[in-house]
Amino acid sequence: MIYAATIFLSSFLLFLVQPLIARLILPWFGGSAAVWTTCMLFFQVVLLAGYGYAHALGKLRGKAQPIVHIILLLAAAATLPIMPAESWKPTGEQEPISRILLLLGATVGLPYFVLASTSPLIQAWFSRARPGENPYRLFALSNFASLIALLGYPFFVEPVFAAREQVSLWSWFFAAFAIVCAVVAWRTPQAAPAADAEGAAPITRSDYVWWLSLSASGSVLLLAVTNHLTQNVASVPLLWLVPLTLYLATFII
């Protein structure tokens, strides 16, 4: 149950913060369609970085894994709350895209990085704690929680809560997540990474290129469609989330 709760909360917060922070900074940059597109670029890159971190952490032995991750959780919690400071407001002289990327990195970068790494880490730890059980049910739960967050923001969170209340609630839930995740990390039995299965075909460089190309094509299409909609229709959270929801649905189907 604790594994399911951790992965559900992390995925919910991971996708809730995207429209939340973008909506906060939208007026600062004149309601430009580039705000959401730039946010999407940032979140996609940090998501990939989080997966890379989870993969690298899985190679550590013994208690090194939970110690490193708990330190990262504490560092992320220390950056709360995620409300952007007034000093980040543009004065009209800065280039907006780089300003948005720096703002996101300073306010939500580390918490988002930690959340992005949680799903693969929890699945790996679950498989060690309960060998023989299928960890991919947690993957399905992760996507379900993400979908709830995306659909819940424009219909419930944004209409009901003021901006500062949204930030405060998200930050408190992240603090709760950090505590639960630290407990899971410390209690999970650590083992040496499993050896490659005998007789498995070696992975070639062309395989890596092919996999990366397929993954990148989906992200590029998501950014292109989102940019087209926000430029030609309206730059509002409800419209922002339609392509992202469809993109997420492809991982559930």
Q: Please write the tens of the pLDDT for every residue from 73-96.
A: 999 999 999 999 888 888 777 788
pLDDT-flagged residues of the chain (< 50): 193, 195-196
Amino acid at 93: E
Q: Specify the pLDDT at position 217.
A: 84
Contacts of residue 80, defined as CB under 8 A and 6 or more positions apart, other chains included, come to: 111, 171, 174, 175
Helix 34-57 and helix 2-25, axial crossing angle in degrees, nearest 10: 150
pLDDT for residue 20: 93
Label residues 219-251 b or e (16+ Cβ within 10 Å = b): beebbeebbebbeeeebbbebbbebbeebbeee
What's the CA gap between 59 and 61, in Å, rounded? 7
CA–CA separation, 41 and 163 (whole Å): 23
pTM for this predicted structure: 0.85
- Look at the chain and count its residues: 253
Residues 6+ apart with CB under 8 A from 22: 35, 36, 39, 237, 240
Beta-sheet strands, E only, within the chain: none
| CATH-assigned architecture of domain 2-192+204-252 | Up-down Bundle (1.20)
Q: Which residue has the tokens 């930030």?
A: 167
Are the beta carbons of 115 and 10 closer than 8 angstroms? yes
Q: How far apart are CA 22 and CA 180, in angstroms?
A: 27
Domain ranges of the chain: 2-192+204-252
Q: 């300003």: which residue's tokens?
A: 99
In this predicted model, what pLDDT tens digit does every residue of 141-157 receive, in sequence order? 888 899 899 889 888 99
Q: Yes or no: say if 226 and 40 are a contact pair by the CB < 8 Å rule.
A: yes
* 138, two tokens: 């947690």
Give the per-residue pLDDT at 225: 81
Which pLDDT score, from 0 to 100, does residue 73 have? 95
Three-state secondary structure call for residue 236: coil
Q: How far is CA 228 from CA 32, 100, 241, 244, in A?
A: 12, 19, 13, 13
Find out whether 46 and 112 touch, Cβ atoms under 8 Å: yes
What is each CA distance from 75 to 49, 69, 178, 201, 216, in whole angstroms? 17, 10, 10, 40, 30
